[in-house]
Amino acid sequence: MLSGSQSSRTDDSVKLVFEKYADTVFKIAYARTNNSYDADDILQDVFIRYMKSKPEFENEEHEKAWFLRCAINCSKSLLTSAWFRKTAAMDDRFSTEMKEKSDVYYAVAELPADLRTIIHLYYYEGYRLAEIAFIMKKSEASVKSALFRARKKLRKKLEQNDERDDFDEL
């Protein structure tokens, strides 16, 4: 933590903001990286940036959008870093985040990071297309198109899983 002379934020205020947004930041980071360990690192990076930059927010929506945008930027930095490209991912089976994962979970996990992010923001965070476009710095039309492509890929993958299940029952 930064000392009181370095920051106008108190430890209690940072703790409250952390409790408010940690789950959201972790989920979007996990949606982009498919790895809970990397998502934890991104969560930490986001809150370090928050404490260092001391952003001022217009309202609660602006604050949440800042945390989402920062998480997206941090995950993008991690995924494109030379270090990340030259290391092997740690097996996520040791993670205790979700005990049971559905076919939908695995189908979403197979999508490219940008499509996973849009699916997460739309379905889990409840953002509208215009808000997602603003957060991801894309046009609303490209977000709408990406959401359509993601749904199509998910539908195809889930139908394949259903066909396999029907075949296994024979």
Residue 121's CB is within 10 A of a number of other CB atoms, namely 24
Q: What does the pLDDT average to over 62-90?
A: 80
Spatial distance between the Cα atoms of 70 and 57, rounded to a whole number of angstroms: 14
Share of the chain above pLDDT 70, in %: 77
* pTM check: above 0.75: no
CA pair distance 93, 142, nearest whole angstrom = 34
Give yes or no for residue 8 having a pLDDT over 60: no
Q: Which residue ranges form the domains of the chain, and what is each CATH number?
A: 1-90 (1.10.1740.10), 98-170 (1.10.10.10)
* Residue 159 banded pLDDT, cuts 50, 70, 90: confident
pLDDT in tens, 28-54: 999 888 888 889 999 999 999 998 888
